[in-house]
Structure 1
Amino acid sequence: MANLNLTQNGNFSSLAPIIPAAGDDNGRSTLIFLGTGCSSAVPNAMCLIQPSDPPCAVCSQSLFVPPEKNPNYRCNTSLLIDYCQSDANRSYILIDVGKTFREQVLRWFTLYKIPRVDSIVLTHEHADAVLGLDDIRAVQPFSPSNDIDPTPIYLTEFAMESLAVKFPYLVQKKLKEGQEVRRVAQLEWKIIEGNHEKSFVASGLKFVPLPVIHGEDYICLGFLFGEKCRVAYISDVSRFPASIEYVISKDGVGQVDLLILDTLYKTGSHNVHLCLPQTLEALKRIRPKQALLIGMTHQFDHHKDNEFLAEWSKREGIQVQLAHDGLRVPIDL
């Protein structure tokens, strides 16, 4: 079994068989991890303004290591799918637009030469998934009169109702009499069902919603996508309904090639997120070919904890590592 090793530029050098060596991605799709951190992001501001004794080692790194060279610097969880279709045309599909979206654009869109966003898919309406929506205008053509094609955004009816309160000016269809035109992001709201039997297509790529428990009073969506390689993306989960676990498990509908999964804390448990002990138990049940973990707090030290996960991977026969901001994974979808 190949180990999960990082190259200098942050790509996985050996994630066999589905994710090739860095640079071997001509004509392929890629997954770009724009953010891999929790809602408050890493570094945790409190660790810097009221430092402990000794200081938090992970958060303190941000004071002397540039973010692009620091895998412990984590923005809000978000994934960009650079989807290469059969005709070689590319579409750019964004999953979640959190509080740190502008920073992610400046850092990773520029590095990887991402020219635009063609579609947006939302997992839920919490702040770390939607509060960057105002900044979508930064990746749209400039028009002071808003005379541009809107970006399709796929979300549940529940999320739509919440966003209509948070961002009424982004949802409003027509100006009221006497209301001035102001330049805002132009979005085309598309309601989807939170049902794994009700798939939808965004920019040519089929998505299957995976409703999971994000605290016992709340449903959040994950998504299953890809035909050549099946990818499950589940960013916010505390418990899997049996029907959804069946859809993505080796002993159910079929093994997924890559599972991208929530893990908030390194120890213990949490009421609305999986923590590492529960995440690893879920991986042993679901048994993906490979897994990348996201949503981490400052409890995780990227290199040290990936050493632990490499040993766990050998023992359990499931390749798993912590992802990091800027990770770019070539993949056939």
Structure 2
Amino acid sequence: MEPDPVAPPAGGTAASVSPPPQPSSSLIFLGTGCSGALPDTRCLIRASTPPCAVCSLGLSLPPERNPNYRLNTSLLIDYCHDDGTHKYILIDIGKTFREQVLRWFVHHKVPSVDSIILTHEHADAVLGLDEVWVVQPRNYRNEIKQIPIFLTRFAMDSITRRFPYLVEQKPEDGDEDAQAAKIDWKIIEEDVEKPFVASGLEFVPLPTGAGQLDLLILEANALHGVGDAFSTHLTLSETLDAIKRIRPKRALLIGMRHFFEHQRENQMLAEWSISEGIPVQLAHDGLRAFIDL
């Protein structure tokens, strides 16, 4: 997968790069933030002295021009088939999904979602499932088409408890006027090394020793060890160590909390990239990276 160069946002603008001359696949970053998203409301309703600089910046510009405004981490794959048709594959559908649809589906002219992959069962990955019906494709009679959702058995069990009406394929009791999503739940096998196919695109685990990656998307949740002492998330220094071991052609970072100021950290990463010979930058909401799939 060879990504086209993606320019950093000019003046904080979360805009996409110019499309290539012919049809191409791309990755659209619907959200690049942590579970709580940014700005962190706690920093604004109970302001500290001095106030949180990043969360204050998160309100200083409109979100579409503000890389410090970050929704739940989510990625949309725009997969262009050989015949020029496009299929849209969504990875995770979290608490901020409705805002992501209003902001980035509209901006990038995404009409619907053809399949969904859930990486885990936490709220920032699944609580947007209630809005699935909004982005489902329709047939020639304008009827909602069934959408496949790929997930583990563990995640399926959690979703069955949280969203029984989605599993049963009917509206909640007392809400008979609502539209029920039509979902084809697809359990990913326990053998994580076995690939699966979603909307014609094959997904396989991250290979070990199987050649160089064109693009690595990796979490950087806390800045140089700042954050929860018992967190299972990666700090920036741990992320950069992993990038040095894997040595992709290029890396984009996601999942940042309010320790990361976009322009400041990207300036530091630009210097790191030169010294290590691996281009690394923070991604931002709305970023579109064209890539050969």
Is 1:114 matched up with 2:71?
Answer: no
Cα 1:315–1:164 shift into 2, 3 Å: same
Is 1:254 matched up with 2:211?
Answer: yes
Superposed CA deviations along residues 249-301 of structure 1, whole A, max 9, x for unmatched, are xxx11111100001100121653111101101111111111000000001000
Q: Any stretches of 5+ residues in structure 2 without a counterpart? A: none
How far 1:148 sits from its partner (Å)?
2.8
After TM superposition, list the pairs within 5 Å mapping 1:91-170 onto structure 2: 91-140=87-136, 148-170=144-166
Equivalence for 1:55:
51
Over the matched positions of the two proteins, sequence identity in percent amounts to 59
Q: Alignment partner for residue 253 of structure 2, among 272, 285, 293?
A: 293
Is 1:82 matched up with 2:78?
Answer: yes
Note the aligned Cα RMSD (angstroms).
2.6
Cα pair 2:170 2:180 within 8 Å, conserved: no
Q: Any stretches of 5+ residues in structure 1 without a counterpart? A: 13-20, 211-223, 225-246
Cα 1:256–1:195 shift into 2, 3 Å: farther
Which one-letter code corresponds to 1:203 in the other structure? S
Structure with the larger RCO, 1 or 2 (CA within 8 Å, 6+ apart): 2
Equivalence for 1:314:
274
How far apart are the structure 2 equivalents of 1:73 and 1:179?
Answer: 34
Taking structure 2 as the reference length, the TM-score comes to 0.89
Which one-letter code corresponds to 2:96 in the other structure? T
SS of the residue 1:153 aligns to: strand
Which one-letter code corresponds to 1:106 in the other structure? L
Q: Alignment partner for residue 42 of structure 2, among 25, 46, 56?
A: 46
Which one-letter code corresponds to 2:87 in the other structure? S
Superposed CA deviations along residues 159-213 of structure 1, whole A, max 9, x for unmatched, are 111100010000015799x9957422221101112434211100010011x3xxx
Which one-letter code corresponds to 2:193 in the other structure? E
SS of the residue 1:132 aligns to: helix
Cα pair 2:114 2:137 within 8 Å, conserved: no
Which one-letter code corresponds to 1:89 in the other structure? T
Cα 1:303–1:34 shift into 2, 3 Å: same
Cα pair 2:120 2:151 within 8 Å, conserved: yes
Taking structure 1 as the reference length, the TM-score comes to 0.79
SS of the residue 1:206 aligns to: strand
How far apart are the structure 2 equivalents of 1:315 and 1:279?
Answer: 16
Q: Alignment partner for residue 171 of structure 1, among 156, 167, 173?
A: 167
How far apart are the structure 1 equivalents of 2:7 and 2:230?
Answer: 29
Equivalence for 1:26:
22
How far 1:99 sits from its partner (Å)?
0.2
Which one-letter code corresponds to 1:276 in the other structure? L
Cα 1:25–1:116 shift into 2, 3 Å: farther
Equivalence for 2:242:
282
SS of the residue 1:6 aligns to: coil
Aligned residue pairs, count: 282
Cα 1:175–1:75 shift into 2, 3 Å: closer
Cα 1:142–1:207 shift into 2, 3 Å: closer
Cα pair 2:29 2:287 within 8 Å, conserved: yes
How far apart are the structure 1 equivalents of 2:233 and 2:178?
Answer: 38
